[in-house]
Amino acid sequence: MAGNVWVVAEQWKGSVSDATYEALALGRDLAEGLGARLEAVLLGQGVRALADSLGRADAVLYVDHPALAEGTGEQTSRALAALAAERSPALILVPTTNVSWDLLGLLPARLGVPLVNFCRQATASGGAVEFSSLLYGGKMAATLTAGDGTVVVAVLPGVRPAEAGKGGPPPQVEEVAVAFEAGDGVRWLEYEEPEAGDVDITQQEFLVAVGRGISNEANVEVAEELAAALGGAVCGSRPVIDQGWLPLVRQVGKSGVTVKPRLYVAAGISGAPEHVEGMKDAELIVAVNTDPGAPIFSVAHYGIVEDATDVLEALAEAVSKRKG
Amino acid sequence: MKILVLMKMVPDIVEELEVAADGRSLDQEYLRFIVNERDEYALEQALLLKDRLQATVVVVAPEAPEVDDVLFTARAKGADRLIKVVGLPAGAGARVTATALAATLPGVDGVLPADLVLSGCQSIDDLDGFVAPLLAAALGLPYLGLVSRVAVDAEGGKALLSKEYAGGVMGRFELSLPALVGIQGCEKPPRYVPVAKVRAAIAAGGIEEVAAAGGAGVAPLEIAAMAKPEAAGHAEMLEGSARDVAEKVADILAARGLL
Amino acid sequence: MPDPTTSSLFGVPGWVFLWLFALVALALFGWRAYRLVKAVSRGRAEPRWDHLPRRLWTMVANVGGQRRMFDNPGIGLAHLVIFWTFVFYAFSFAWNLLRGLFPLLPIPYADEVAWVSFPMELLTVAAIVAMAGAAVRRYFFTPPRLERSRDATLILILISVLLVTFLVGQGAKVVAEDGVASWSPIGGLIGGWLDGLSASAAADLFLAMWWLHMVTVLAFLAYLLYSKHLHLLASPFSVFAASLETGGMPPPSEGAAQLEEFTWRELYNGLACAECGRCDRACPAFASGEVLSPKDLIHEIKLAVLDAARGDGHRDLISTVGAEAIWACTTCRACMDRCPVFNEHIPLIVQMRRQLMIRGEVGTGVQDMLTGLTRYGNSFGQSPRNRAKWARDLGFEVKDARREPVDYLWFVGDYASFDPRVQEITRAVARLFHHAGLDFGILAEGEQNAGNDVRRLGEEGLFEMLRDKNLAALASAEYRAIVTTDPHTYHVLKNEYGLNGRVVHYTEVLGDLVASGRLPVSPNGGGRVTYHDPCYLGRYGGIYEPPRRLLRALGLQVAEMPRNRSSAFCCGAGGGRIWMEDAPGGAERPAESRVREAAALKGVGTMVVACPKDLVMFRDALKTTGLEGALAVRDIVELVEDAIGATQRSEA
């Protein structure tokens, strides 16, 4: 594989995401394995200062353009495609948060190159890269290589610790003028903050998370009881939010928030990657699911194969009794 | 106004997935296919827009096991036209599918140009890309993904969309029609349609079969090996009745000073 | 005695007035009857003419004998008396009217004939006592949900006028005929009070009473079809046209919201209703917060029929009844079992649910369950391959009835197969069957949800699909009888699948095994337990005694809860409610009310159940009511295992 390793730096609302640093850490390993340079690509408007934190990279390619201000995939993919067409990197690592989602979708088409999706591991040896991707809601892992030419890689959260991607002195910044057709088919209007709930789950020490396995809305109450007994709050995975059993502010995962509580009780949650990425760093994870093969059990510290609601109820009682 | 909805089938993970003897694909014996969940939301969004704008809804899906039921169910819910694209190789992957669709759809009467194309913005088997944006790029349509709310200003030729970001933040965007939107959610969950109505749709028939054109020039990614993921670790499993395990968990919590 | 209709009133012969009143009253009555019949016949067809002898006998017992009124013996007797009095009065009125309208007919008046007037006098006195009792109950000890409308009060007054005018007339006759009171004991008594009157004054009094009586009856007749006492004339026919099937599902349809979409029998419910409130008092959904009132439901039907009779209105019954009420029904049948006029509330609910299904207006809990059920054949949304997982590690093989013939094909059911709490009971049943050497097998992955609750939810298409798949699986198996632990499954297999063979409940099989000694029991200690009759085994299936016999054979004493057998109180899970959220309303849930009822029995520590849903609902209710220490909820099979003894159980 010839060419450099690129990492797309996700900047949104004035800061660089943790997922970017995770991707930088992976990029560093791959660049070393391939004997190539690691370059961070920063796209935006007036955000040059953010390049300072990307010290893990050998250099930063900075593209400044008004159309790139909000990181909208329609425009960033065109800019990045134009740049990549000029520079022919070997790999373009892109973090998979909501901000870069559309970029991931459009870039391979605009560049005419393959994408390796859901990548949770990549190793370089002998000039080639082997990827491991998670498919089917985390139930299968596929190992693959991608042939010659540029490859876009969607990097799952947690592929490396974010700390490993930070540090190093502020890198050399090359401001690049790229000619690309910005187009105006997609126009950003504004952001809407969620209604402030009474609870900010990112600040909670104890979280009781409910998923589809609690069967119906009435059982959210049971989770509330346990949360109350523990002195924490209830949160949920995406299906529960989709059903309207919990408001959007309680969602943990890709379109929700990332939490790091002292205790995370996952009740009736299967453990699909989009959810796990939001809670994998909790100090103690106890998972309850009737499916012994649920991916959540790979992330949890303790696992129970039982009806989620039953266990929540019994646990609420046991905890209340202990606390007196 | 015309709305196109792209749907596809994916492996059903309610069933236990097994690796086939070749070590790189799914074992077919008990494998079932289910419609991609996000595509159901796309269809629901299309049907809501149909009511509001008196639009017609055309549903297109590549051939796959159990896809006919999905198409007839879409008809029972209110879709006007059903098109099945046949001839795509098995395990085609997103790039091949998108390229083939981009080559095929323009040749089908009355499908393109559509004012709005809706499709789920992700699925569980998108190893080599997401079909919706790949198709948007191939057709030259503006694209926005992770959308969970769509309103259309037909006169102005615009769509007003809400896109999901982390932490419950929503981004409001405007797209010029025609456009392709990648759907993540919808203001309402997909509607129920009784079995009797689906059976009536099946009896009435009417799925148009269209041969896939093109798709050449792109190859799917070759999987070297597939296996159940060895986890970095595994939870320590606690046995017993709900009562018993609750006691054990309470003990663990107490020991860690969490109570 | 002067002849009332040939005597002159204000110079005009009486019969002129009689003809006038009669024509007016009968015209009003006839016109109204015509409009009502026309309104009801706008409903769809539904044959209710089959099994004539059985229908006639039902009428004898329930119209003639007023059987269902005797749930409260006092009021039952009172109503029976009032009813038969009324029958005699109607007979005598018709006779008198005929004679009055045609004075030239060579027949006496009815009250001139001893074998008519004598029983009438006695019945009248009994009726007065009964009416007084009924009035006291209605106005001073009003049962909840009994309508004390002005209409009902007016009727009471009219009836009292009839009774009094007759008796006073009899008394006046005695005085006018100079104290001769043959076959007129009450007349004689009242004559005694009136003996101050001269003979001609007494004759005038008699005439006055006669006319007051006739005019009142004619007025009553004209008013009848505008009042709730329409039930008087409508109810005998509603009893005749009662549903003879226990399941009582409406005929195939796309559901109903408008008048024309219901069947004529469903509409007729509105006319037959006497607004007594028995249905409301029995309804578990009503008790847990008044979300659903079966009586109001019937009332809405009546209003729709009355609107149609007036030529107005296109009521959408789904909006007037409300979707919340429609989904609140558990289909327990307590309302229909209680109703003295054999009204049918459940078909109305199911009809409206069918329509809501078609409109897609279904709650997400139910919708998710139905989608999973359609796809995987079970209400748990699990892979069908997991259905027989409970049968692993039993220590013996359970036969696959698809592959080999069996005596008993055990149709296990969803809850018994998939719910971890119930799987233990299922395994216990398997162990006992095995221990007794019973030749049994299961369909394993070939079994689908039997579809009973799906049908009650109004998803008729899905029910048919499930039924057809199950019938295909059963057709390819060889067996002598089907056994199941789930009463819902029991009911639908026995009554709604069109199967010709035997379907039995496991309590019957266990009972036989114990009685025949194949399951040897060593009764231990003889504790006191109470037994909860599952709705679909008891009210629907008529099986009350076999489980009790079994418990006694185990050496246990069976104490009865106040609401037992056909008045057992539903756990609240039926009709699809187990997949829905609790209806708002705040009052206690049916399962909680029931466990409290059991816990209140002296010396009883265990409530015995024979249904998987009962087990789940009542055990949950023990927790929410805090009664866990006071009462245990156990399946009957656990008690059988206890009695078999530990040594034999360890074999499995």
A98 vs B165: CB contact, 8 Å cut-off?
Answer: yes
> Higher-confidence residue: A197 or B245?
B245
B242 vs A311: CB contact, 8 Å cut-off?
Answer: yes
Dihedral sign of CA atoms A185, B97, B15, A287 in order: negative
B258 vs A306: CB contact, 8 Å cut-off?
Answer: no
Residues written for chain B: 259
Structural contact between residues B185 and A242, judged by C-beta atoms closer than 8 angstroms: yes
Paired sense of beta strands B170-176 and A186-192, if any: antiparallel
Please tell me the class of the C382-514 domain. Answer: alpha beta
In tens, the pLDDT along C270-303 reads 999 988 899 999 999 999 887 899 999 999 999 9
Q: Give SS3 for B110.
A: coil
CA distance A248 to chain B (A): 6
How many CB atoms lie under 10 A from the CB of residue A172?
11
DSSP state of C44: B
The runs of H, that is alpha helices, within C577-626 are 590-599, 612-625
d(CA A269, CA A240) in angstroms, rounded, equals 10
Nearest CA in chain A to B236: A302
DSSP secondary structure of C435-501: HTT--EEE-GGG-----HHHHHTT-HHHHHHHHHHHHHHHHTS--SEEEES-HHHHHHHHHSS---S
Q: In what order do the strands lie in the sheet with C440-442?
A: C399-400, C440-442, C408-410, C481-484, C502-505
Q: Is the minimum CB–CB distance between A88 and chain C shorter than 8 Å?
A: no
φ/ψ (deg, to 5) at A247 = -75, 165
Q: Give SS3 for A324.
A: coil
Nearest CA in chain C to B199: C461
In tens, the pLDDT along B72-85 reads 999 999 999 999 99
Dihedral sign of CA atoms C383, C387, C388, C389 in order: positive
Give, in order, the Cα–Cα distances in Å from C506 to each of C214, C397, C484, C510: 62, 20, 6, 6
How confident is the prediction for chain C on average, in pLDDT? 91
Q: Is the minimum CB–CB distance between B216 and chain A shorter than 8 Å?
A: no
Note the pTM of the prediction, 2 decimals.
0.90
Q: Give SS3 for C182.
A: coil
A215, A225, A289, A320, best to mutate vs chain C, most C CBs in 10 Å: A215
What is the pLDDT at residue B221? 84
C-alpha A35: how far from chain center:
27
B10, B12, B14, B199, best to mutate vs chain C, most C CBs in 10 Å: B14
Instruction: Assess if residue B130 is contained within a domain.
Output: yes
A243 vs B189: CB contact, 8 Å cut-off?
Answer: yes
Structure tokens at C391: 């049968």
Domain C247-359 has CATH 1.10.1060.10: yes
Give mean pLDDT, residues C405-411. Answer: 97
Where would I find the beta strands (DSSP E) of C547-597? Answer: 557-559
What is the pLDDT at residue B215? 63
User: Which of A23-32, A298-307, C447-456 is least confident?
Assistant: A298-307
Where would I find the beta strands (DSSP E) of chain B? Answer: 2-6, 9-11, 33-35, 56-62, 81-86, 116-120, 143-153, 158-164, 170-176, 179-183, 207-211, 223-227, 236-238
Helices and strands per DSSP (H, E), number in chain B = 6, 13
Give mean pLDDT, residues C160-181. Answer: 84
What is the pLDDT at residue C178? 74
d(CA C299, CA C305) in angstroms, rounded, equals 10
Q: Is C289 left (phi over 0), alpha (psi -120 to 50) or beta?
A: left
What is the pLDDT at residue B233? 74
In tens, the pLDDT along C567-585 reads 999 999 999 999 987 766 6
B178 preceded by cis ω (within 30°)?
yes
Q: Is the minimum CB–CB distance between C647 and chain A shorter than 8 Å?
A: no
In tens, the pLDDT along C121-149 reads 899 999 999 999 888 888 898 888 887 78
Chain A contacts in chain B segment 59-88 (CB below 8 A): none
pLDDT > 70? residue C397: yes
What is the pLDDT at residue A243? 79
A108 interaction partners in chain B (CB closer than 8 Å): 95, 129, 134
C419 vs A307: CB contact, 8 Å cut-off?
Answer: yes
List Cβ neighbours of C521 (8 Å cut-off, separation of 6 or more).
C514, C553, C554, C555, C640, C643, C644
pLDDT > 90? residue A290: no
Structural contact between residues A184 and B176, judged by C-beta atoms closer than 8 angstroms: yes
d(CA A181, CA A17) in angstroms, rounded, equals 27
Amino acid identity, position C141: F
d(CA C285, CA A264) in angstroms, rounded, equals 38
C362, C380, C581, best to mutate vs chain A, most A CBs in 10 Å: C581
Structural contact between residues C573 and C314, judged by C-beta atoms closer than 8 angstroms: no
Q: Is C124 left (phi over 0), alpha (psi -120 to 50) or beta?
A: alpha
Q: Among C168, C95, C162, which residue's Cα sits nearest to residue C127?
A: C162
d(CA A254, CA A267) in angstroms, rounded, equals 18
At C646, is the pLDDT very low, low, confident or very high (cuts 50, 70, 90)?
Answer: very low
What is the pLDDT at residue C313? 67
φ/ψ (deg, to 5) at B171 = -100, 130
pLDDT > 80? residue B218: no
At C647, is the pLDDT very low, low, confident or very high (cuts 50, 70, 90)?
Answer: very low
Give mean pLDDT, residues A159-172. Answer: 91
Query: Which residue's entry shows tokens 């185990």?
Result: C554
C-alpha C192: how far from chain center:
48
Paired sense of beta strands C528-531 and C606-609, if any: parallel
d(CA C588, CA C174) in angstroms, rounded, equals 62
At C652, is the pLDDT very low, low, confident or very high (cuts 50, 70, 90)?
Answer: very low
Nearest CA in chain C to B66: C375
Q: In what order do the strands lie in the sheet with B81-86?
A: A186-192, B170-176, B158-164, B143-153, B179-183, B116-120, B2-6, B56-62, B81-86, B207-211
A284 vs B258: CB contact, 8 Å cut-off?
Answer: yes
| Burial status of residue C392 (CB atoms within 10 A of its CB: 0-12, 13-18, 19 or more) | exposed
Q: Among C153, C467, C573, B139, which residue's Cα sits nearest to residue B131?
A: B139
Give, in order, the Cα–Cα distances in Å from C202 to each of C2, C144, C205, C207: 11, 46, 5, 9
C462, C616, C619, best to mutate vs chain B, most B CBs in 10 Å: C462
CATH architecture group of domain C521-649? 3-Layer(aba) Sandwich (3.40)
Give mean pLDDT, residues C71-85. Answer: 90
Domain encompassing residue B90: 2-211
Shared fold status for A5-175 and A201-323: yes
Query: Which residue's entry shows tokens 């949890």?
Result: A300
Nearest CA in chain A to B12: A136
**Where does A5-175 sit in CATH, by number?**
3.40.50.620
pLDDT > 80? residue C182: no
How confident is the prediction for chain A on average, in pLDDT? 91
Give mean pLDDT, residues C28-43. Answer: 93
Q: How many domains does chain B have?
A: 1
Structural contact between residues A221 and A208, judged by C-beta atoms closer than 8 angstroms: no
Instruction: Assess if residue B223 is contained within a domain.
Output: no
d(CA C42, CA C35) in angstroms, rounded, equals 11
Of C365, C382, C421, the CB nearest to A217: C365
Sketch the domain layout of chain C as residue ranges: 8-227, 247-359, 382-514, 521-649
Per the CATH hierarchy, to which homologous superfamily does domain A201-323 belong? TPP-binding domain (3.40.50.1220)
C616 interaction partners in chain A (CB closer than 8 Å): none
Nearest CA in chain A to C379: A215
The chains in contact with chain C, meaning 3 or more Cβ pairs closer than 8 Å, are A, B
Of B11, B134, B166, the CB nearest to A105: B134
Q: What percent of chain C has pLDDT over 90?
A: 66
pLDDT > 70? residue C524: no
Q: Among A125, A130, A172, A179, which residue's Cα sits nearest to residue A151?
A: A130
Of C374, C381, C462, the CB nearest to B14: C381
d(CA C461, CA C473) in angstroms, rounded, equals 19
Of A114, A193, A323, the CB nearest to B221: A114
A290 vs C419: CB contact, 8 Å cut-off?
Answer: no
Chain A contacts in chain C segment 229-258 (CB below 8 A): none
DSSP state of A233: E
At B231, is the pLDDT very low, low, confident or very high (cuts 50, 70, 90)?
Answer: low
pLDDT > 90? residue C35: yes
At C248, is the pLDDT very low, low, confident or very high (cuts 50, 70, 90)?
Answer: confident
| CA end-to-end span of chain A | 64
d(CA C604, CA A142) in angstroms, rounded, equals 61
List Cβ neighbours of C552 (8 Å cut-off, separation of 6 or more).
C558
Give, in order, the Cα–Cα distances in Å from B47 to each of B60, B77, B118, B187, B197: 14, 8, 11, 12, 16
Q: Among C364, C368, C390, C391, which residue's Cα sits nearest to residue C381?
A: C368
What is the pLDDT at residue A118? 92
Amino acid identity, position A195: E
d(CA C591, CA C620) in angstroms, rounded, equals 8
pLDDT > 50? residue C650: no
Q: Give SS3 for A42.
A: strand
pLDDT > 90? residue A323: no
pLDDT > 90? residue C156: no
What is the pLDDT at residue C648? 52
Of A218, A290, A310, the CB nearest to C582: A218
A310, A311, A315, A321, best to mutate vs chain C, most C CBs in 10 Å: A310
Give, in order, the Cα–Cα distances in Å from C532 to each of A85, B31, C424, C564, C569: 77, 43, 20, 7, 8
Q: Give SS3 for B8.
A: coil
d(CA C279, CA C276) in angstroms, rounded, equals 8
CA distance B196 to chain C (A): 4
Instruction: Assess if residue B206 is contained within a domain.
Output: yes
C362 interaction partners in chain B (CB closer than 8 Å): 192
Structural contact between residues A153 and A107, judged by C-beta atoms closer than 8 angstroms: no
Sketch the domain layout of chain A as residue ranges: 5-175, 201-323
Instruction: Assess if residue B158 is contained within a domain.
Output: yes
Of C420, C580, C582, the CB nearest to A306: C420
What is the pLDDT at residue C573? 94
Give mean pLDDT, residues B225-237. Answer: 84
d(CA A68, CA A80) in angstroms, rounded, equals 10
Structure tokens at C594: 């029931």
d(CA C606, CA C618) in angstroms, rounded, equals 12
Instruction: Assess if residue B175 is contained within a domain.
Output: yes
Structure tokens at B136: 């948007």
In tens, the pLDDT along A252-273 reads 998 888 899 999 999 999 888 8
Q: What percent of chain A has pLDDT over 90?
A: 67
CATH of the domain at B61: 3.40.50.620
CA distance C370 to chain A (A): 13
d(CA C260, CA C43) in angstroms, rounded, equals 5
B228 vs A186: CB contact, 8 Å cut-off?
Answer: no
DSSP state of C60: I
